[in-house]
Amino acid sequence: MNELITIKNLSKTFNKVEAVKDVSFKIKKGEFLGIQGHSGSGKSTLLGLLAGLEKANSGKITYNGSDLTNMNEDELALFRRENVGVVFQSFNLIPTLNIIENIALPLFPLNISKNEMIERARKIAKDVGLSHRLTHYANELSGGEQQRVAIARALINNPKVLFADEPTGNLDSKTGKKIIELLKELNREKELTVVMVTHDNEIAKNSDRIIEMKDGGVIR
Ligand SMILES: Nc1ncnc2c1ncn2[C@@H]1O[C@H](COP(=O)(O)OP(=O)(O)OP(=O)(O)O)[C@@H](O)[C@H]1O
Ligand SMILES: [Mg+2]
């Protein structure tokens, strides 16, 4: 497998807290990577840096050779749109939009007809097993269904990498397993690279490789 992301001596400090400290590793194309570590060890911060949502203080992140850390805001926004999908622990759905609209949300700023938006959202909804719920509102769905909507929304622009921060953290273990199965299926069948933060050992076992963080550093 070839390399997709190279992280070199990456650091991020908030005021005086060194949230991510001199971290270096590589992520391969098509890999399912788990990131583990205690609360406060820097997992979410690292994910935010890799997804281009936060700026590093020092170090380098390259995707297929192009340097994320040198990009300005506009370049970053374009980069994120073309490469990255993010799923958060809390689903972050818009309650006043129905499912299909929530999934299509990242397409709103693009120059795409409403019909095409709906068509694309419908297709992704099918991929994540949501076809029967398209006109429901977010608060009418179970936790597992809401997480599926969040995953569909993250996939709508056909990203190369999906970053998931505790995607099963708000779900019971049975529903959590189903979400993991979905992520694994997407990883296998669409060759989507998945980077997943979890502090659940059982969930982490689904990864091809696990990186463990402690006090901002990678210890394993
Ligand atoms: N915006 C911020 N401002 C100040 N400090 C922050 C900020 N974000 C994170 N931190 C600090 O950075 C450290 C790492 O936080 P981070 O959220 O990355 O941890 P985490 O490993 O994701 O923890 P958890 O498992 O609880 O989600 C913590 O000490 C946290 O308090
Ligand atoms: Mg976190």
What are the angstrom distances between the C-alpha of 213 and each of 10, 44, 138?
13, 11, 34
Sheet of 3-14, strands arranged across: 17-28, 3-14, 58-63, 66-67
Superfamily (CATH H level) for 3-218 = P-loop containing nucleotide triphosphate hydrolases (3.40.50.300)
Query: Which atom of ligand 1 approaches the CA of 42 most closely?
Result: 18
> pLDDT per residue over 106-121, tens digit each?
999 899 999 999 999 9
Amino acid at 200: D
Instruction: Compute how many other C-beta atoms are within 10 angstroms of the C-beta atom of residue 145.
Output: 20
Please say whether the beta carbons of 29 and 161 come within 8 A.
no
Tell me what pLDDT residue 1 has.
Answer: 56
What are the angstrom distances between the C-alpha of 123 and each of 44, 83, 128?
30, 19, 9
pLDDT tops 80 at residue 182: yes
Q: What are the sequence ranges of the domains in the chain?
A: 3-218
Pocket test for ligand 1, best of 17, 36, 199 (most atoms within 8 A of CB): 17
> pLDDT per residue over 58-93, tens digit each?
999 999 989 999 999 999 999 999 999 999 988 899
Pocket of ligand 1 (CB under 6 A): 14-15, 17, 19, 37, 39-45, 199
